[in-house]
Amino acid sequence: MSRIQQAFARARAENRAAFVAYVCAGDPNFETSVEVCRALLANGVDILELGVPFSDPLADGLTNQLAAQRALEGGMTASRVFELVRRIREFSQAPVVFYTYYNLVFANGVDAYVRAARAAGVDGILTLDLPPEEAGEVAAACAAHGVETVFIIAPTSPDERIAKIAAATTGFLYYVSREGVTGVRDQVAVNIPQAVARIRAQTKLPTVVGFGIGTRAQVAEVAAHADGVVVGSALVNCVRDHLGDDKKIVAAIAARAADLAAGVKR
């Protein structure tokens, strides 16, 4: 099994959902980003979703937009994101999934990008603005280099669309529980059980749920139905709230991750 498959299998065996954590690579600086990733993986995170900094992150709300801006201003580049993954591989074999945009994959050649990602230790790629109908080149490169694909399903996706998205996916499906962009919400969406059931009727692939989940109680609510729970903005806020004190950033991320991880148990 791949590292991604192993993570979901381990979670199932322990009667819980997998905890998927998002942070932006290089936020607020390279070395602190390494320690943030270390803290997440030491405090219950099963799959690390690394946002690749981009100047036009159209799927993201203000929290993650500002994180990308901080990372870019701090000198993060595509090559440094690969370097970050190599540093993570020095202390962890947990799955790493890139959360990225097609411009970044396309700019220097799709095959070259995927090959470099795999060589660094990346397990999967989620390209936010790439629909499966246009993903043939990325899918071929991922198949050639042993990188799994992740695609998004929206609340508005009809059953026939879900089937098409699932057919293009090899890693896991990411159900966006709300229309709009990323960001913490006061309540989780009300239709998650029905949405996950619709997806499972079309595929045996794991389904994770994200967008708007930021507390232990919300994680527990989603974990009762989904194979995995994604938390992003609530973790990125730990960086924002302690800018200028890298040690406090890492400590805050560690504490928040441990608290959220307690919610995935069923």
DSSP assignments along 197-256, one per residue: HHHHTT--S-EEEESS--SHHHHHHHHTT-SEEEE-HHHHHHHHHTTT-HHHHHHHHHHH
Instruction: Assess contact for 67 and 51: CB atoms under 8 A.
Output: yes
Q: Could you tell me if 249 and 215 are in contact, meaning their C-beta atoms sit under 8 angstroms apart?
A: no
| Amino acid letter, 150 | V
Would residue 259 show up in a list of annotated catalytic residues for this protein?
no
d(CA 257, CA 22): 11
Burial 3-28 (b: 16+ CB within 10 A, else e): bbbebbeebeeeebbbbbbbbbbbbb
Decide if 49 is catalytic: yes
Burial of 190-207, coded b for 16+ CB within 10 Å and e otherwise, reads eebeebbebbbebbebbb
Neighbours of 240 (CB within 10 A): 16
Contact (Cβ atoms closer than 8 angstroms) between residue 122 and residue 98? yes
Q: In terms of DSSP H, where are the helices of the chain?
A: 3-13, 30-41, 62-73, 78-88, 102-106, 110-120, 136-145, 159-168, 192-200, 216-223, 233-241, 246-261
Residue from 14, 31, 46, 49 carrying the catalytic annotation: 49
Catalytic pick among 27, 46, 60, 148: 60
Eight-class DSSP state of 147: -
- Active site positions, annotated: 49, 60
